[in-house]
Amino acid sequence: MQLATPLPLSPEPSTDNESAREVKLKQYQLENLSRQARRVPGPVILAAAVVAFIAWDFVPSWFAIGWGMVVAAAVFVRAGYSRRPLSMTSESIQKRLHHMVLLSLLNGSVAGIGSAYLFTQLPADRQTLLTMIVVGWTAGAVSANAAYARAFFAYTLVLLTPLAIVWALQGTQGIGIAALLMLFLAIESGFVSDNQRVFRQSFSIRYENEQLIEQLERQRQEILHEKDRAETANLAKSRFLAAASHDIRQPLHTIGLYSAALSLRKTDERSQELARQISLAVGSLASLLDSLLDISKLDAAAVVPEVATFELGALTARLMDEVGPVANEKGLALSDRVAPDLFVHTDAMLLERIVRNLLDNAVKYTPRGSVALRAFSRGGMVIVEVADTGIGIPPKEQCRIYEEFYQLGNSARDRSQGLGLGLAIVHRLAKLLDITLTLKSQEGAGSTFALSLPLAPRPRIPRSTQVPAEFADAASMQGLRVLVIDDEISIRTGMQALLESWGLHVTLAWDTTSSLALAQQGMDLVIADYRLRDSETGLDVIRSLRRQHGTLAAMVISGDTAPERIHELKEENIRLLHKPVAQTALRQAIVEVVGGA
Amino acid sequence: MNLLVVDDHTLFRQGLKFLLRDLDEHLNISEAADCQKAIELRGQPFDLILLDLHMPGTVGLDALAAMKETFEISRIVVLSGEEDPRQVRRAIEKGAMGFVPKSSSPEVLLSALQIVLAGSIYLPPLALKDLQSEPAPANGTEKHSRSHDAHLLGNLLSPRQLEVLHKAIAGKSNKLIARELDISEGTVKAHLAASFVALGVHNRTEAVYVAARLGLQIKD
């Protein structure tokens, strides 16, 4: 709201009686008056000049000029005075107004008495001319003093009255003119009063407006303050809860310990059942508490996301594993369709939380049918959808489901169904991570929650951790038949797992006898540990095998670095690998040995 | 075995002591209510320290650092109310040899403590699934190549290297290992480097994770 002319700064009232309003009014009047006082010199000097000109031939020049200059001086003095700085107290404003009136009086007198004297020196036709000028002069004073009537009266009375008097002294006709002049003065006074009233009204309106604005501003500040206070209180509460969570959990953990101790004891069935129930109840309490505290932490902004770029596949796979058993138990079909190489840049743990909660809910609210997890990219964004064929959410509930403790169809408040915080947490986490969350649902048909976040550029793996390019030999390793010989069963199985993952076909043996027997099926390669049982060596076994099957690619793994060993094996065309054997070295060796070394 | 339990909650400490005794009656269990009191027990030969991360007067992992400094030969297993995989990782990085979440169910708690008492590494399943703890694959294939059997290590590493590896996993500093084995620190580093290569990991932290998966029993 903009006022045309802003009201001046509020001065202080001097007495209790005088209201702030009245003082402000006086101030407004003074300012207006002062402004006009500075506009007035030009026209006044012009008028005086014209009067002097009219009387020029009939008075000494020095008089005419002198009078003109006195008039000018008087009007400049008033203008100058109005410029002086003023303290904003009621007394000084009043005093200034008073002085301005006095100066008006001075101005009026100088002009009035002077022109009256000039009148007496003039012939009749010039006299009328002069009167016209002076009458016009008074008219100008009307608007110049619209703010403060007293100034008008002070000025105009002494400007016009002398002239009226000299007219009246000239005889009957003169008296008539004098009377007309006074009548004119009376009419002008009427105008001035009207002006004054309009001025006051305009002031009133502006003043009230200003008061209103001030009040509104005060109220606004108050509301903001209250809002701040409420937010601070809420934050404090959340922080308190988040901090207290540690202490609140301790007794629960302690019960867990004793439950564990109890489970170690042999007790009768009834006691076992008791222990089990206690354990369940504690578990339930713990997860309810967790949800509650999680929300508090989120609200208290105590959760700081740690963002990194990662691929979505591992996350979704893990979640599928987690949710699988629960879905199976309910007889639901669980499926996932996740595009490969979907990289995102966000907090992995929190995102997993969101999707987990959505999946849990989907399973919970789907009595029969299916739950699907889908992820794909579209238009530079990665979309993750959790869709179910569950009970669905009616449109009017759709915005309410994110509220804390809100649960569909749980008016009985069955607490085994959780607290109803899952989606509230999802909502907050999504906001925290700046992920868009949307819902499409139809009552009785099912719901689909969709997350949308930007697709991240595939990270460039630094050289040092770079995965070596696919071995070109992968094909040549496929289906290779390997005999692994070691006297320790765990090593044998370990090697088997490793080699099978490379696509080799593995047979296990532990000494010459077993090796010979198992090698019947046909072998492409033998990998033997040097030190076997009963001072048998891998070398011995390989020799036996070769006697039986002819040339056979072979390698020996040994911790022994004695040169004789190296020599010995090399002589027999057996590759030696020293412990520790890196996988790449093992693989390389296999390729080379089989390749025909 | 000499055990030290450091936890500011009396009830919990007593419960833990109770359960541990049930699991192994030959344990020698000492208690401390906070870091300061624990440090006063300096000089006592604890084999294992069970340490609560959130105690008054300490911030996060500072307690762990202080314990490691005071009891350099002891293994430290962290107890915590939180299961945040990132927290787990940080604790291991700071030298812990295991992480047992207090919020575990009684069954899990039991097996975790049994694993710890047996000398193996317990890490919460959620943390084991942690992406970042996956060691960089040595080739293009995925799961199988990482499921080494514990004893495959014996096949790939020399006894000395294994020894050094175990001590490192237990949380001992290179300097301490060098002292204990009467070899140079440089040699220790070399052995460790070789071990890491064999395991397909880059550092001790990752080695701990792999060892946890393998169910490796740490002998130091």
A385-401 mean pLDDT: 88
**Amino acid A483: pLDDT:** 92
Which tens digits make up the pLDDT trace of A226-239?
Answer: 999 988 888 888 77
Q: Which is more confident, B169 or A398?
A: B169
String of DSSP letters for A63-98: HHHHHHHHHHHHHHHHHHHHHS----BHHHHHHHHH
A143-162 mean pLDDT: 89
Q: How far apart are the two ends of chain B, measured CA to CA in Å?
A: 13
Q: Assess B110–A contact: CB distance below 8 Å, yes or no.
A: yes
Which tens digits make up the pLDDT trace of B147-183?
Answer: 345 666 677 788 888 899 999 999 999 999 999 999 9
Q: How far is CA A201 from CA A205, A208, A538, in A?
A: 6, 11, 117
Q: Residue B139: is its pLDDT beyond 50?
A: no
Q: Rounded to a whole number, what is the distance in Å from the CA of B39 to chain A's nearest CA?
A: 23
A200-214 mean pLDDT: 92
Q: Which two tokens stand for residue A458?
A: 């595939």
Q: Residue A207: is its pLDDT beyond 80?
A: yes
Proportion of chain A above pLDDT 90, given as a percent: 31
Q: Residue A191: is its pLDDT beyond 70?
A: yes
| Interchain proximity A253–B138, CB inside 8 Å | no
Rounded (10°) CA dihedral B124, B127, A350, A244 = 40
Query: Is-contact A357 A294, C-beta < 8 A?
Result: no
Q: Nearest residue of B to residue A280 by CA position? A: B105
B5-30 mean pLDDT: 92
Q: Nearest residue of A to residue B129 by CA position? A: A318
Q: Which is more confident, A596 or A365?
A: A365
Cα three-residue angle A83-A87-A92, rounded to 5 degrees:
90
**Amino acid A515: pLDDT:** 87
Q: Which two tokens stand for residue B106?
A: 């009684």
Q: Residue A546: is its pLDDT beyond 80?
A: yes
Which tens digits make up the pLDDT trace of A483-502?
Answer: 999 887 777 878 888 888 77
Q: Residue A468: is its pLDDT beyond 70?
A: no
* pLDDT bucket at A15, cuts 50 / 70 / 90: low
Query: Is-contact B36 A274, C-beta < 8 A?
Result: no
Q: Residue A374: is its pLDDT beyond 90?
A: yes
> From the CB of residue A265, how many other CB atoms can be counted at a distance below 10 Å?
10
| Interchain proximity A467–B137, CB inside 8 Å | yes
DSSP B158: -
Residues of chain A with C-beta less than 8 angstroms from the C-beta of B136: 465, 467
**Amino acid A376: pLDDT:** 93
**Amino acid A214: pLDDT:** 93
Beta strands in B81-173 (DSSP E): 99-101
Whether the bond into A580 is cis, omega within 30 of 0: yes
**Amino acid B141: pLDDT:** 36
Q: Which two tokens stand for residue A551?
A: 């040339």
Average pLDDT, chain A: 85
**Amino acid B76: pLDDT:** 94
Q: Which is more confident, A563 or B95?
A: B95
Across the interface, of A254, A310, A557, the residue whose CB is closest to B12 is: A254
Q: Which is more confident, A30 or A560?
A: A30
Q: Residue B193: is its pLDDT beyond 80?
A: yes
Q: Which is more confident, B143 or A112?
A: A112
Residues of chain B with C-beta less than 8 angstroms from the C-beta of A488: 151, 154
String of DSSP letters for A238-284: HHHHHHHHHHHHHHHHHHHHHHHHHHHS---HHHHHHHHHHHHHHHH
For B:22-81, CB contacts with A below 8 A are 22-23, 54, 81
Q: How far apart are CA A495 and CA B152, in angstroms?
A: 7
Q: How far apart are CA A362 and CA A326, in angstroms?
A: 11
DSSP A465: G
Q: Which is more confident, A92 or A566?
A: A92
**Amino acid A108: pLDDT:** 92
B187-202 mean pLDDT: 85
Query: Is-contact A526 A481, C-beta < 8 A?
Result: no
| Interchain proximity B81–A246, CB inside 8 Å | yes
**Amino acid A550: pLDDT:** 81
Q: Residue B212: is its pLDDT beyond 70?
A: yes
Task: Reduce the DSSP state of residue A449 to 3 states and report it.
Answer: strand
**Amino acid A461: pLDDT:** 59
**Amino acid A303: pLDDT:** 80
Q: How far apart are CA A44 and CA A68, in angstroms?
A: 10
* pLDDT bucket at A469, cuts 50 / 70 / 90: very low
Q: Rounded to a whole number, what is the distance in Å from the CA of A474 to chain B's nearest CA?
A: 10
**Amino acid A410: pLDDT:** 62
Pairing status of strand A446-454 against strand A381-388: antiparallel
Q: How far apart are CA A546 and CA A539, in angstroms?
A: 10
Q: Residue B143: is its pLDDT beyond 60?
A: no
Residues of chain A with C-beta less than 8 angstroms from the C-beta of B81: 245-246, 249-250, 253
Least confident residue range of A202-206, A363-367, B120-124, B194-198: B194-198
* pLDDT bucket at A14, cuts 50 / 70 / 90: low
* pLDDT bucket at A21, cuts 50 / 70 / 90: confident
Average pLDDT, chain B: 84
Q: Which two tokens stand for residue B107?
A: 């069954």
- Reading phi first (left if > 0) and then psi (alpha if -120 to 50, else beta), residue A341 is in left
| Interchain proximity A261–B19, CB inside 8 Å | yes
**Amino acid A296: pLDDT:** 79
**Amino acid B144: pLDDT:** 34
